[in-house]
Amino acid sequence: MTLPAVPPHVTAELVEALSPRLRKRLDAAAAKLLARPLRTEGDLVRIELDESTVLELRAPGGRVTAAEAIRCSCLLAPGCVHRAAIAGAAPVAEEEEPPGEAEDATAAPAAEPASVEVPDPAAVDALWSAGAAVLEAGVDGAGAVLQAELLRAAHTARLAALPGPAAAAVRIVNQLRAARAADPDHRLADLTDALRELLTAAHLLRRDPTARDHRGTARRAYTPGGSLRLYGLFTEPVLASTGHAGAVTWTADADGRLYSVPDVAPGTLARATGAAGRAIRMGDTALTHRELSRAGLAVSGATVSADGRLGAGKGVQAVRAAGADWTEAPLDRLWTVPPAEQVDRALAAPDGPGLLFLDVTLTGAVRETGGDSLLADCAGVPLRLTAAHEHPGLAYRDNLKLLATAPGTALRIIARLVRADHPRAQLLAVRREDGREGGREGGREDAPAARHDLGLDRLQRTDVPPPPDVHLPLQPPAAPAAPVHVLRRRTEQAVSAGRRALALPGGADDTRALRRAGLVTAAELLAGLRGAAADRGRDHFGRLLPADGGQFARAWLGAALYSEEAARRLCRTAWLGGAGDTREYGG
C-alpha cells in the first residue's frame, strides 16, 4: 500500500509553516512515519503514530488536494512536524491532461501569438536558486526542506507559464528521493541531466525573458492526422521513478513514421506488467497492447502529437487490421536505414524515442560495473546491448542472461540508443532470423515465437537456438576515446557530494590529462569549476564568507553543457567506427 500523491504547493506550504527547530527534525520524522502501517478507509488514509495519535490524509481519487486534507491529532497540530513529514514522503502529484479534451483536434492549431508573455522574474530566480542549492548541498544534504524549495519553485514556475522547468524541478525531487532511499533503479546521470535542464532553462530565461525554447508546453497538442494504416512493432513496459507505470505500444505506417499508443498512469510494478494485457483506449477496438504489437490498426479521424503519440479523443475510430512481420513490407524498410543515419536521427531529437532498428549477430557477453552486457556485431560495428530497465520484476535482465548463452545467433532487434563513447543501446525487442511468426502471440500454436518483447516475454531455453559450430572473430579492442568522462565525472560528483567535494585540494591530474588529450576547453572548464567551488572570501575580521552558490552553479552549468555536447559527438563518432577528432569540441 502506498501513500496518496501530494501536489507540490501543498508540500511546500506545510514545510514553510514549520519552525526552524522542527525543520531540522523533518527527515527523521518522515523516516519514522514511513515505517508505520497504513490503513485505507475509502478516500481516507490513516497512520497510527501511537495509541492516541492518528495522522489522516483525505485523498479523493488517490490525490490530496489541499493542506487541510492532511490532519493530525497530536497536541502540536496543525503546526506539527507530522503533516509536513508525510507530505514530503508522499509521491509528487503532477498536473495531468484532462482525458480526451486535449486529444480532440478537430481543427488546425492556432498560430503562435506574435508577442510572448514575459514570465515573472521571481519565478525564474526561484528555479535558479533551488537548483544552485542542490549543487551546494549534494544528495546527502538535499533533504525534505530543500526538496520543498524545489517544489515551491516548480509550483510558481507552472503559474508563470513555465511548465518545462517546473517538470524538471519535480523530476529532480523524485531523483533525490530515489538516491537518498538507495533505490536500485536510481541513476546519478539522470539526476545530473535533470539538474542541467533546470539550470539551463533558468539561466537563459534570466538573460532573455522572451525566449520560448525552454519554456515547455503545459499540454500536449494534438493535430488532425486523417486516416492511418498502422502496423504493430513491439510493446514496452513503463516503470518510471515519478510513480507512473503502464505500457507503450509502438507502431509504424507504410512510410516508416513511428506512432505510439500509451497507457501510462500512476501505479507500480503490477500496472507495468499488467497494462500490456489491457485493451487500448482508441475507438471501439478490443485489441490489447500485446495483440496490437503483432497486428495492425486502421484509424480514421486520428489525432497525433508532435512526438507521434496517438490521441484517444471521442472522434477517433479504430478497427483491427492485418499486421506484418519485421521481415515483410512495409516494416522491413525500418531496418534498411544505415545504423549511422539512425543514430544521427536519434541524436538530433534528444526528446524523441531514440529507437534503432538493427540486424546483429551475438558474439558474447561482458561484465560491467552496472551488470552484464551483450556483445554483438552490427555491420562490422562492435555493439554493447544492455537491459532497458533493471527492476527484477521486469524480464529484461533475465532475457539478456539467456541470450548471452547463444553466441553466433543472428537477431533482428529494436533498441534504444544510449549515448556513450562506444556503440551502446538498450535492447527492447528481438526477432530470430531463423524463426517464423507464431507461438504465444499469434499464428500457429505449434510454431516457434520468433518475436519477443523483452520487457514482457520471458524467454525459455527453447526460444534460444543452440550456439552454431562456427568460429566467431574476437571483437577488436575499442580505440582509446578522448577522456571527456573526466569532466563528466566531476559534474556528477558535485551533484552527489555537493560543492565541498570539489573544493578539496587536488584535481591537477585531471586537468593535465585533459590538456594532454588536446581538450583545452574541457581543462579550463574543470579548473574554473574547482576554482568556483573553493572560492570563499573573508570579512574584515578574517572570517570565511558564505560561498557564492550562483558562481559555482554557472561554472557547473558550463561544464555540464560541454560534457553533454562532447558525449553527443563521441557517440556519433563511435557509430561511424572511428576514434573521432577531439579538436571539434576541445577548443
Nearest to 488 by CA among 403, 566, 581, 416: 566
Place of cell 508522499: 90
* Band (437; pLDDT cuts 50, 70, 90): low
Q: Which CATH architecture has domain 222-321?
A: Beta Barrel (2.40)
Please report the pLDDT score of residue 32 as a whole number.
93
pLDDT of 102 > 70? The answer is no
Confidence of residue 467 (pLDDT cuts 50, 70, 90): low
Let me know if the fold of 222-321 is the same as that of 331-463: yes
Q: How far apart are CA 109 and CA 304, in angstroms?
A: 12
Strand ranges of the sheet holding 44-48, from the earlier edge strand across to the other edge: 38-41, 44-48, 54-58, 70-72
Q: Tell me the mean pLDDT in the region 197-220.
A: 86
The per-residue pLDDT for 449 is: 54
Task: Categorize the per-residue pLDDT at 105 as very low, low, confident or very high, splitting at 50, 70 and 90.
Answer: very low
Identify which has the larger pLDDT, 263 or 463. Answer: 263
- The tens digit of pLDDT for each residue in 301-326 reads 999 998 899 998 888 999 999 999 99
What pLDDT sits at residue 330?
Answer: 95
pTM of the predicted model, to two decimals? 0.84
> pLDDT-derived band of residue 138, with 50, 70 and 90 as boundaries?
very high
DSSP codes of every residue in 376-441: EEETTEEEEEEES---TTSSHHHHHHHHTT-TT-EEEEEEEE--SSS-EEEEEEEEETT--S-GGG
Q: Is the pLDDT at 447 greater than 80, yes or no?
A: no
pLDDT at 469: 57
Residue 474 has pLDDT above 70, yes or no: no
Which element (helix H / strand E) includes 521? helix 520-534
Whole-number Å distance between alpha carbons of 508 and 155: 42
Q: Can you tell me the distance from the alpha carbon of 512 to that of 526, in angstroms, rounded to the nearest whole number?
A: 10
Rounded to the nearest 5°, which phi and psi values hold at 465? -70, 155
* Contact of 511 with 524, CB cutoff 8 Å: no
Report the mean per-residue pLDDT for the chain: 86
pLDDT tens digits, 16-46: 999 999 999 999 999 999 999 999 988 999 9
Split at pLDDT 50, 70, 90, the class of 116 is low
Which residues does 124 contact at the CB level (< 8 Å), separation at least 6? 157, 160, 162, 202, 205, 206, 209
More confident residue, 231 or 222: 231
For 229-271, the pLDDT digits (tens) are 999 999 999 998 777 899 999 999 999 999 999 999 888 899 9
Cell of 304: 497525433
pLDDT grade, residue 350 (50/70/90)?
A: confident
pLDDT at position 545 is 75
Fold of 331-463: OB fold (Dihydrolipoamide Acetyltransferase, E2P) (2.40.50)
Per-residue pLDDT, 553 = 96
> pLDDT by residue (tens digit) across 519-577?
999 999 999 999 999 887 777 777 877 777 889 999 999 999 999 999 899 899 889 87
How much of the chain exceeds pLDDT 70, in percent? 88
Q: Break the chain into its structural domains and give their ranges.
A: 19-85, 121-207, 222-321, 331-463, 485-586
Output the pLDDT for position 481.
Answer: 59
Range 322-343 average pLDDT: 95
Mean pLDDT, range 396-424, rounded to an integer: 92
Q: Are 46 and 56 in contact (CB under 8 A)?
A: yes
Q: Span 339-347, mean pLDDT?
A: 94
Return the SS3 of 335: helix
Predicted local confidence at residue 446, as pLDDT: 39
- Whether the pLDDT of residue 484 is over 90: the answer is no
Least confident of 170-174, 212-216, 424-428, 443-447: 443-447
Beta bridge partners of 530: none
Per-residue pLDDT, averaged over 88-100, amounts to 70
Taking residues 76-105, report their average pLDDT: 75
Q: What is the dihedral of CA 110, 112, 118, 123, to 10 degrees?
A: 60
pLDDT-based confidence at residue 274 (cuts at 50, 70, 90): very high
- Please determine, for residue 389, whether its predicted confidence score (pLDDT) is greater than 80: yes
